[in-house]
Amino acid sequence: MIIDLHTHGKLSKKSVFDPEYFRQMVYEAKENGLDALALTEHFNTLNFFGMYAALDEMYPYNGHYYDADGLKIFPGMEVDIAETGHILLIGRKEEILEVRAALEPYTREGHFIPFRQLLDLADSRGLWKIGAHPFRRSTPLHHLSPELLVRLDAVDFNAKDIYVQGEEAYRALITPFAAGLGLPVIAGSDSHQCLQYGSVLNKLEVTCETMEELRAAVRLGAYTLEVSHCLPVKVKASVMMKKLLKEMRGEAPSRDEEAEYLV
């Protein structure tokens, strides 16, 4: 099974969820060879709950994933923490929505949830916890306490960071970091725009029907990472298209975009 474990369902946090835009994302994900993805939209995006309500109208949900025209979509979200950094949480829709509701007091910058508290909350619901882009210059994780980092289940080999820093340089950072914590490394495209799908992939040796099966396969190392030779073109084209579409909608670049991609 081929899966992307870091994806977004909207162009930006300020965008409304557009079912037709998302259907195009699903089509392109399948065109790029994906069998499944984790939908890790930002927890403080505009109308987070409405996005899942719309998905309920669009696709059948079997208690573990949405069947989007043959593409498995595992529910999740990306959460900012107080110490700076992003954590991907993946699990059953009900648990994701419960944790998101508990995060309501922590949605604004300067008021994000402390890392330890988020870990405790995620563990109480059995969610899969992945450290997103740990060496991103604007939102790193490597500076955090190893005592807390070891409670993660994996770290994110992120297409955007590979594009910015180069694959060899990024591997030289993330490989010893993950090994020192005893954590596996998983691939995530971090796509907000469909051109970015296929830039990085996880090729599992088994087909998984639940988040627990996915987590077990990764823990056992029953997968390989694949980086597309087209990654630079895919990411650059996606970033440029996202910038253009946001400008057409009157949206300003985010802090992350300004710091990493649009300079």
pLDDT of residue 242: 82
Helix (H, G, I), strand (E, B) or coil at 2: strand
Domain positions in the chain are 2-260
Rounded to 10 degrees, the C-alpha dihedral 160/166/167/170 comes to -80
CATH fold for domain 2-260: TIM Barrel (3.20.20)
Radius of gyration of the chain (CA): 17
Distance CA 104, CA 233 (A): 37
Distance CA 101, CA 98 (A): 5
The long-range contacts involving 68-71, CB below 8 angstroms and separated by at least 24 positions, are 68/26, 69/26, 69/27, 69/30, 70/30, 71/26, 71/29, 71/30, 71/34, 71/35, 71/36, 71/37
For the entire predicted model, the pTM comes to: 0.94
pLDDT of residue 253: 67
Backbone angles phi, psi at 74, to 5 degrees: -90, 130
Alpha carbons within 13 A on the beta-carbon side of 39 = 26
Q: pLDDT (tens digit, 0 to 9) for every residue of the chain, 263 residues total?
A: 999 999 999 988 989 999 999 999 999 999 999 999 999 999 999 999 999 999 999 999 999 999 999 999 999 999 999 999 999 999 999 999 999 999 999 999 999 999 999 999 999 999 999 999 999 999 999 999 999 999 999 999 999 999 999 999 999 999 999 999 999 999 999 999 899 999 999 999 999 999 999 999 999 999 999 999 999 999 999 988 888 877 877 777 666 655 555 43
